Structure 1
Amino acid sequence: MVVGSYQGLMRSVLCICLSVVLFMPGLGLSAEPSVLATLQKTSTPMTLMAIQFKDAKAGWAVGSGGALFSTADGGKKWKKQTSGTSALLTGIYFIDQKTGWVTGAAGTLRQSVNGGESWTGHPLETQQPLYGVHFPSATDGWVVGGGGTILHTADGGAHWVEQASGTSAALYAVQFLDAQRGTAVGALGTVLATRDGGRTWVPQVSQGAVTLFDVFFTDESTGWAVGNAGALFQTNDGGAKWVDRTLPCGKTCTKVIDLLKVRFTSPQEGWIIGERGMMYRTTDAGYSWSDGTPIAPVSLFGLTFSDATHGWASGENGTVVHLQAGK
């Protein structure tokens, strides 16, 4: 997948005819025998751009055409919910089992206070697409999007204020460790950091023209960012310097695959998913990564973990994959 095609998907509603998705254990995991991957049935042709589980049972997934699904049994059954919009939804974050937020195209920002059963829109001045959302607490939250958009709430979402990012590049992901320390990444190698709750955003060392789709910090020092053409970067100093960890072509190679999400369940164990259903895993803090393993026949955009053992990925054709890690 080229960068343009991924970004085009972010900007438009995608509908692909779905071949029936069956429960299939262990799809193509010969290189990663300690991981069991199971395709879960959602009965939708829509692309599921983002997914989140609060525990091993309760989860939500959102995507194209305003698609919204929830599960109460770990994904064995997925129930369609009404999002109240037909916009492409690209981000989701539940603060707890009841209160959640979704972001999407044309300034879409919606909130649920009943576990996703109903959603209320929050009108914003911006019409930029909104891609990422994160709440480090019940009161403080951030949303990032096109044109360098950064929005902040300090009252649980009642009011949203735009913060000056200093860039016009699209921002695809944001993560805060607490109410003061956060990082956002996006197009043109953009990495922004704040240490004062977003009052000021400071550009970090640029990674050139590469587009960064996601960022994840395991602590205040160690973080990872992934992007197009297999881009993989690590920082050990809180983001002041990012080191290229892109896997070389050989036995394991990421350079021909767009990497779209990265998550760590501990300082040692991390996961990356992306184009063509590929998954990479590390159990030694990123010093080495498993061979790329296809866990689905489609590209995967969303990744979430409820604990160190259970994870889920979501993507094209309504695909949801349950990941179960062995010890």
Structure 2
Amino acid sequence: MGSFKKSALLALGIALGSLQGIAQAATFVDVLDLPAKPSALATRSPLRDVAQAGERLVAVGQRGHILYSDDAGKSWQQAGVPVSSDLNSVHFPTAKQGWAVGNDGVVLHSSDGGASWVKQLDGRQIGELGLAHYQALASAEPANETWAQFVAEGERLVAEGADKPLLDVWFADDKRGYLVGVFNLILRTEDGGRSWVPMQDRTDNPQSLHLNAIAAVGDELYLAGEQGLLLKWDAGQQRFAALPSPYQGTWFGVVGKPGEVFAYGLRGHVFRSTDGGQSWSQVDTGLPVSITAGALDAGGDIWLFSLAGHALRGRDDGAGVVLVPQQSLAPVAGAAPAGSAGLVLVGERGVRALPVE
């Protein structure tokens, strides 16, 4: 094709693209301001987490979808949600009070067991919040170079806008909780989300690795992240202190019960600790695929699930896991107990039940 014709076609394409961009700009609404649309297919659309809210189950997923079930997952209703951002995690410390977090730094709160939600925070505010917090610390201690580093990080977050995902949420009760996300993003509230305090300076994470999960096992609170990052809250130091990590790949989560903790991650890697994470022994899963979810069933047994949908149940002797046969497999991103009905699993193909004998 001649250069003149190519130039003409390129110019035409640019002009048409500009016109299309103008038209789109005129109708653009940020997903943080666009309520989630009701969908009859929501139970079969990608879901990323599910949690108990008393007797109720609440699941969250793409495009701001939040579903709740009052019959152990047999039927679901879609909640009213003020955003269309993808949601990654949900947690209810009580039957009524719950929080969900997701992309664009969005934080949602429910006071009615997940039937309706309000936005408490989003990525447009998180950067400014962090910047103001560390500027105040830098002003109080000008000789402390640590604060200058966090101020620079806050300035970067403000400049880049609302594009940083929050990946997990955990609350001890209806007042005290944490949010975690990419690049060591972590915030704490002591008043139910009315205010948030950045805690990037309270983690042993000098490389600002992603914080993929936060979970409590008994009275101990763990963080799991990329490149082998495992941390645990140290009340004496008032920070998340590093644990010896038995694997240098990505961790996707921690699950367990008092006296027994499992960390799970890439390529089927699972390790077990009986001393609060100070030492670990590898658990043979027999799987080469990533372990992406964990849960306790109503009887207190530990379950792990793979990206491909495999289900692994903790053995009675506590030392390993066994593969549980299933009629069909589907990816699992989250799991929660559903009483006598077993477990409810969510993933890329929506929601399904797993009976537990």
Q: Secondary structure at the match of 1:106?
A: helix
Out of 125, 135, 147, the residue aligned to residue 183 of structure 2 is 147
> Would the aligned equivalents of 2:165 and 2:181 in 1 still touch at CA under 8 Å?
yes
Residues 84-95 of structure 1 mapped to structure 2, 5 A cutoff: 84-95=82-93
Residues 216-231 of structure 1 mapped to structure 2, 5 A cutoff: 216-219=255-258, 221-231=259-269
The answer for the alignment partner of 1:125 in structure 2 is 126
Task: Report the AA paired with residue 96 of structure 1.
Answer: T
Residues 90-169 of structure 1 mapped to structure 2, 5 A cutoff: 90-123=88-121, 124-126=125-127, 127=162, 128-163=164-199, 164=201, 165-167=203-205, 168-169=208-209
TM-score if structure 2 supplies the norm length?
0.71
1:94 to 1:268, Cα distance in 2 relative to 1, 3 A: closer
Q: Could you report, residue by residue, the CA deviation over 1:212-243 in whole angstroms, capped at 9, with x for unpaired residues?
A: 10102311x42111111001011111111222
Once the two structures are TM-superposed, the CA of residue 147 in structure 1 deviates from its matched residue by 0.6
Task: Report the AA paired with residue 89 of structure 1.
Answer: L
TM-score if structure 1 supplies the norm length?
0.77
Task: Report the AA paired with residue 107 of structure 1.
Answer: G
Q: For 1:105 and 1:87, locate their aligned partners in 2 and report how far apart those are by CA, in whole Å.
A: 6
> Would the aligned equivalents of 2:296 and 2:336 in 1 still touch at CA under 8 Å?
no
Out of 66, 73, 93, the residue aligned to residue 68 of structure 1 is 66
The structure with the largest alpha-carbon Rg is 2
Question: Which stretch shifts more, 72-81 or 263-272?
Answer: 263-272
The answer for the alignment partner of 1:261 in structure 2 is 293
Say whether 1:290 aligns with 2:290. Answer: no
Task: Report the AA paired with residue 48 of structure 1.
Answer: L
Once the two structures are TM-superposed, the CA of residue 285 in structure 1 deviates from its matched residue by 4.8
> Would the aligned equivalents of 1:95 and 1:138 in 2 still touch at CA under 8 Å?
yes
1:177 to 1:286, Cα distance in 2 relative to 1, 3 A: closer
Q: For 2:237 and 2:108, locate their aligned partners in 1 and report how far apart those are by CA, in whole Å.
A: 22
> Would the aligned equivalents of 1:134 and 1:142 in 2 still touch at CA under 8 Å?
yes
> Would the aligned equivalents of 1:278 and 1:295 in 2 still touch at CA under 8 Å?
no
Say whether 1:175 aligns with 2:223. Answer: no
RMSD: 2.4
The answer for the alignment partner of 1:324 in structure 2 is 355
> Would the aligned equivalents of 2:56 and 2:113 in 1 still touch at CA under 8 Å?
no
Q: Secondary structure at the match of 1:125?
A: helix
Once the two structures are TM-superposed, the CA of residue 156 in structure 1 deviates from its matched residue by 2.0
How many pairs are equivalent? 276
Say whether 1:235 aligns with 2:273. Answer: yes
Unaligned 5+ runs, structure 1: 1-40, 248-252
Once the two structures are TM-superposed, the CA of residue 306 in structure 1 deviates from its matched residue by 4.4
Percent of pairs identical after alignment? 25
> Would the aligned equivalents of 2:210 and 2:226 in 1 still touch at CA under 8 Å?
yes
The answer for the alignment partner of 1:14 in structure 2 is none
Once the two structures are TM-superposed, the CA of residue 171 in structure 1 deviates from its matched residue by 1.0
Once the two structures are TM-superposed, the CA of residue 198 in structure 1 deviates from its matched residue by 8.0
> Would the aligned equivalents of 1:225 and 1:234 in 2 still touch at CA under 8 Å?
yes
Once the two structures are TM-superposed, the CA of residue 314 in structure 1 deviates from its matched residue by 0.6
1:266 to 1:236, Cα distance in 2 relative to 1, 3 A: farther
1:283 to 1:243, Cα distance in 2 relative to 1, 3 A: closer
Q: For 1:61 and 1:282, locate their aligned partners in 2 and report how far apart those are by CA, in whole Å.
A: 24
Q: For 2:87 and 2:59, locate their aligned partners in 1 and report how far apart those are by CA, in whole Å.
A: 9
> Would the aligned equivalents of 2:47 and 2:333 in 1 still touch at CA under 8 Å?
yes
1:295 to 1:276, Cα distance in 2 relative to 1, 3 A: farther
Higher relative contact order structure (alpha carbons within 8 Å, sequence separation ≥ 6): 1
The answer for the alignment partner of 2:45 in structure 1 is 46
1:308 to 1:218, Cα distance in 2 relative to 1, 3 A: farther
Residues 5-84 of structure 1 mapped to structure 2, 5 A cutoff: 43-55=42-54, 57-84=55-82
Task: Report the AA paired with residue 147 of structure 1.
Answer: F
Once the two structures are TM-superposed, the CA of residue 43 in structure 1 deviates from its matched residue by 4.8
Q: For 1:96 and 1:162, locate their aligned partners in 2 and report how far apart those are by CA, in whole Å.
A: 24
Q: Secondary structure at the match of 2:239?
A: coil
1:72 to 1:308, Cα distance in 2 relative to 1, 3 A: closer
